[in-house]
Amino acid sequence: MDYNEFLQSKRFISQSTGFTPDSINPMLFDFQRDIDRWACKKGKAGIFAQCGLGKTPMQLAWGEQVCKYGDVLIAAPLAVSRQTIREGQKFNIPVNLCRTHGDVKPGINITNYEMLEHFDAGKFAGIILDESSILKSYDSKYRNTIISMFRDTPYKLSCTATPAPNDFMELGNQCEFLNVMSRTEMLATFFVHDGGDTSKWRLKGHAEDKFWEWVASWAVVIQRPSDLGYSDGKFILPPLNIQEIIVDSPHKSQHGQLSFVPELALTLQERREARRDSLENRVAAAAELTKNGEQWLLWCDLNAESDALAKAIPGAVEVKGSDSQEHKESAAIGFANGDIRVLVSKPSIFGFGLNWQSCHNMAFVGLSDSYEQIYQAMRRCWRFGQIYPVNVYIITSRREGAVKANIERKEADSERMIGEMVRYTKDILTKEIRGTVRETTDYNPTEEMILPEWLGVVA
């Protein structure tokens, strides 16, 4: 082995274990078809695409190709399954809804993550994780179950919105699910540990380029089609208008006296008290917004907020965690169809995977402390395919401080970090996806060609 061969052996590049697909569904956009061809050739791949770029049709078209080798199972969040079935109908790809393995039919099947324990993973040629950010938590029961359950599945596809570049634990879980490398191996190869906190891992200074080169060998990272050299066309987002509505509320001062002079809530307990004290005024502000007759999505954090909104707004449909799966699915589809004008729920229930571009108005009447939940909730409406500016209202009490500014700061930080992730991977992916996977049509002559005499004359 010479020195160049030695250097090549040290490159951490995911090896392809897939197949060359037949003609990909022609209804997909060109960038979607090319990504699917790449993913079929990889065999096990991640598609980290921004909300609305068509992860559902891409995963269905990928599954359609894998079905030539056996049945495929899609695992999806609650209430997303029926939406996926409807997408399949648009692209002429049948999808079968399952609750247990006894419901499985030849082809593409879909179930909710909560039902996976009722399936025999060994019977499937392919597994697709829809909204695979469910793997984010290292100690998540879903994370451990999924990785173990589908360890030997031949073909795997992991689909989620672009993960935060500094959330290395999520990337480690994704690559472990795809059999690229274990999470522990990833950390040992590319990272150093900072201090006693086991969650504090930092990329080795000399390894950053190699790390993202490695990620690009098994995952597509794309914010918009132009990231990979395609035209953005219809995939240009309309404006996002975030507006803050600040309400007053009476509260008890440090001396126990009722006061209308706001004392800024600093601790978690104080923020909870501020939200409780301002509940009535926040609900009233939200109810006033919905009087314009348009469709509205109202997000809550507490059951008390959800209950109060449902009572204050005529015709509002409330969906809580304790509701039946049938009610949740019915409400999700009804809202998507426009049959429900005002939907009240929590980001933890409906914040992931649903396409609600029909609505362009929403309000957060209660905020969780998770920026990811807030971001994903906004993305249900502010996503590619939305034709109107999206209006987002954040209704808080004066005691809670500059909530809007904090959210906008986190949004800017997220965009900057994701931009860095795309920058590191786009050149590698552009060459691999656009340069090596284009379909060609073979010419099969059926008649003998007769050349004119002059072509046979040699000067």
Q: Binning pLDDT at 50, 70 and 90, where does residue 441 land? A: very low
* Per-residue pLDDT tens over the stretch 147-204: 999 999 999 999 988 666 567 778 888 999 999 999 889 988 888 876 655 557 788 8
In a domain, 178, yes or no: yes
248 and 223 belong to one structural domain:
no
* Domain total in the chain: 2
> What is the structure's pLDDT at 277?
85
> What is the structure's pLDDT at 103?
97
More confident residue, 66 or 187: 66
User: At which of 198, 231, 264 does a domain end?
Assistant: 231
Residue 241, SS3 per DSSP: strand
| Torsion of Cα atoms, 438 then 441 then 442 then 446, to 10° | 180
Q: Any idea what the CATH number is for the domain that residue 142 is in?
A: 3.40.50.10810
Residue 136, SS3 per DSSP: coil
Domain that includes residue 373, residue range: 240-410
User: At which of 231, 255, 288 does a domain end?
Assistant: 231
User: At which of 186, 212, 231 does a domain end?
Assistant: 231
* Per-residue pLDDT tens over the stretch 124-137: 999 999 988 777 76
Record the tokens describing residue 338, joined without a space.
């426009």
* Per-residue pLDDT tens over the stretch 219-274: 998 889 999 989 998 888 899 999 999 888 665 555 555 445 456 655 666 767 77
Q: Which residue has the tokens 């990928």?
A: 62
- First-to-last alpha carbon distance for the chain, in angstroms, is 53
In a domain, 436, yes or no: no
* Per-residue pLDDT tens over the stretch 308-367: 999 999 999 999 999 998 899 899 999 999 999 999 999 989 988 899 999 999 999 988
In a domain, 449, yes or no: no
Q: Binning pLDDT at 50, 70 and 90, where does residue 212 land? A: confident
325 and 263 belong to one structural domain:
yes
**Interstrand relation of 126-130 and 155-160 (parallel, antiparallel or unpaired):** parallel
In a domain, 151, yes or no: yes
* Per-residue pLDDT tens over the stretch 386-435: 999 999 999 988 877 666 777 777 777 777 777 777 887 888 788 888 76
213 and 312 belong to one structural domain:
no
3-state DSSP of 342-399: EEEECHHHHCCCCCCCCCCEEEECCCCCCHHHHHHHHHCCCCCCCCCCEEEEEEEEHH
Residue 433: exposed, middle, or buried by beta-carbon count in 10 A (0-12, 13-18, 19+)? Answer: buried
286 and 170 belong to one structural domain:
no
13 and 134 belong to one structural domain:
yes
188 and 308 belong to one structural domain:
no
137, 101 contact by CB (below 8 A): no
245 and 221 belong to one structural domain:
no
Q: Any idea what the CATH number is for the domain that residue 401 is in?
A: 3.40.50.300
44 and 168 belong to one structural domain:
yes
In a domain, 434, yes or no: no
In a domain, 277, yes or no: yes
210 and 279 belong to one structural domain:
no
Q: Give the global pTM.
A: 0.81
Which residues, other chains included, contact 161 with Cβ-Cβ below 8 Å and sequence gap of 6+?
48, 49, 50, 51, 133, 376, 379
> What is the structure's pLDDT at 455?
47
227 and 249 belong to one structural domain:
no
In a domain, 453, yes or no: no
186 and 257 belong to one structural domain:
no
In a domain, 431, yes or no: no
299: pLDDT strictly greater than 50:
yes
299 and 205 belong to one structural domain:
no
How far apart CA 378 and CA 360 sit, in angstroms, is 10
